[in-house]
Amino acid sequence: MKSSLVHPVVAVLLGVFFSVASSVVGAEKPINLLFIMTDQQRWDAMSCAGNTVLTTPNLDQLAAQGAHFH
């Protein structure tokens, strides 16, 4: 049960952090954020992360246009 609560807690904390950060910076327009969190997936389960077996063109495109954390 502990691991099932980790993802929502992280999402809420990141959302609060970015909303506070955008108000501190004084942004005229709200920042658009999209968090994609999957369950039961290894860190290298996307081809943009170096996996040569899997092909994930849509996730690769999203990673190329945004931020991809290793």
CA dihedral 11, 16, 20, 21 (to 10 degrees): -20
Walk along the chain (70 residues) and give the pLDDT tens digit of each residue: 455 555 677 777 777 777 666 565 565 777 777 777 777 888 888 898 889 999 999 888 988 888 766 6
Q: How many CB atoms lie within 10 A of CB 7?
A: 13
The domain segmentation of the chain, as residue ranges, is 1-37, 41-70
Whether the pTM exceeds 0.75: the reply is no
The H or E element containing residue 8 is: helix 2-25
pLDDT of residue 52: 92
